[in-house]
Amino acid sequence: MENELLYEMQNAFPMTERPFKAVAEKLNTTEEEVLSTVQKLKDEKIIRQTSAIFDTKRLGYKSSLVAFKVAEDQVEKAAEIINRHPGVSHNYLRNHDYNIWFTMAVAPDSQLGLEKTIEILKEQTGAEDAITLPTLKMFKISVKMDTTGKRAKKEKVKKTAHKEIELTPKHIAVIKELQKDIAVVSEPYKEATEKLGMDYNEFFEIANELKESGVMRRFATILNHRKAGFGANAMSVWAVPEEKGEEIGRQMAEFSAVSHCYLRPSYPNWPYNLFAMVHAKTQEECDTLIEEMAQETGLKEYGKLYSTVEFKKQRLVYFDEVFKEWEAAV
């Protein structure tokens, strides 16, 4: 049951009064069995977190992928400095001259802004060079490890129409609770509703508004990839003619093993403008998938950047005072 449970919880975790009961009914088992299995998987660090996944941009945050070129003997120190910024959610050492890759976000009320913040980090780390790679077009963002082995190699990427929404203090209060890792108990949302002085109906109504507007991408479980058996992840990077960017981006996004697929800017020192994150159990599997992607698209100029060290991987904490504190300190 473990593999089916992990896949189900990655796909979408119910926002209902007793979500583990709803999952159990779907898997034809009991709530008690699901609760004990989830707790075991958390204890084993296979499940990293179960919470809402928000769209950083729709919340007013500015963000970008960033690559630094750092001298080998300065890497650890540089990673520590980068990790102190609360807007850095992912930070990896990758097998390239541009060796430190991190995602950076700044709050809507940032006094420094994104570019200045990156400049400060470049100075603090002593990086020799930096590339800023904001998203120009997103084709896919969906981290779902195929724990069942039954997933098709390719799948259509659904486009969802979103309603416009103006965030109120109530929305923000609910966001602050939904972004927390849920407790493995029968009613995991109860604490949040009591804290906010809401009943379940109001709480889930606001949560569903956030989902329908695209502010919340989904509520789901994120796995620790390596502990879940997916030991390799490659950031495949592709030099795509501008006029074919969207067509090939959509094509690559259909590969189930691709979790993220974006168009980004290219530079004289960085010719790659299409990024596709590929996950597999082994590096050999990753290589094979990337070769298939190359053959199918006809692209000749591409690279594979494997992560060799994970310096940081955690969710952004939105509407948190730590962003102001970091800026005040520098």
Q: What is the pLDDT of residues 81-103, one digit of tens each?
A: 999 999 999 999 999 999 999 99
Res 22: pLDDT: 96
**Inter-axis angle of helices 19-26 and 31-43, nearest 10:** 100
> Do 284 and 306 share a domain, yes or no?
yes
Tell whether 114 is covered by a domain: yes
Phi and psi angles of residue 259, each rounded to the nearest 5 degrees, phi first = -95, -35
Q: How far is 242 from 87, CA to CA, in rounded Å?
A: 30
Which residues form the domain of 36? 1-44+168-214
Task: Residue 11: give its domain's CATH number.
Answer: 1.10.10.2890
Give 191-243 pLDDT, tens digit per residue: 999 999 999 999 999 999 999 999 999 999 988 877 776 777 899 999 999 99
| Confidence band of 251 (pLDDT split at 50, 70, 90) | very high
Among the options 90, 96, 162, 225, which is catalytic? 90
In the block, tokens 């084709």 appear at 139
> Do 260 and 290 share a domain, yes or no?
yes
Element (H, E) at 133: strand 129-133
> Do 87 and 127 share a domain, yes or no?
yes
Provide CB contacts within 8 A for 292, sequence distance 6+.
255
Q: Which amino acid is at 287?
A: D
Total domains in the chain come to 2
Q: How far is 52 from 59, CA to CA, in rounded Å?
A: 13
| CA–centroid distance for 194 within its chain | 29
162 belongs to the catalytic site: no
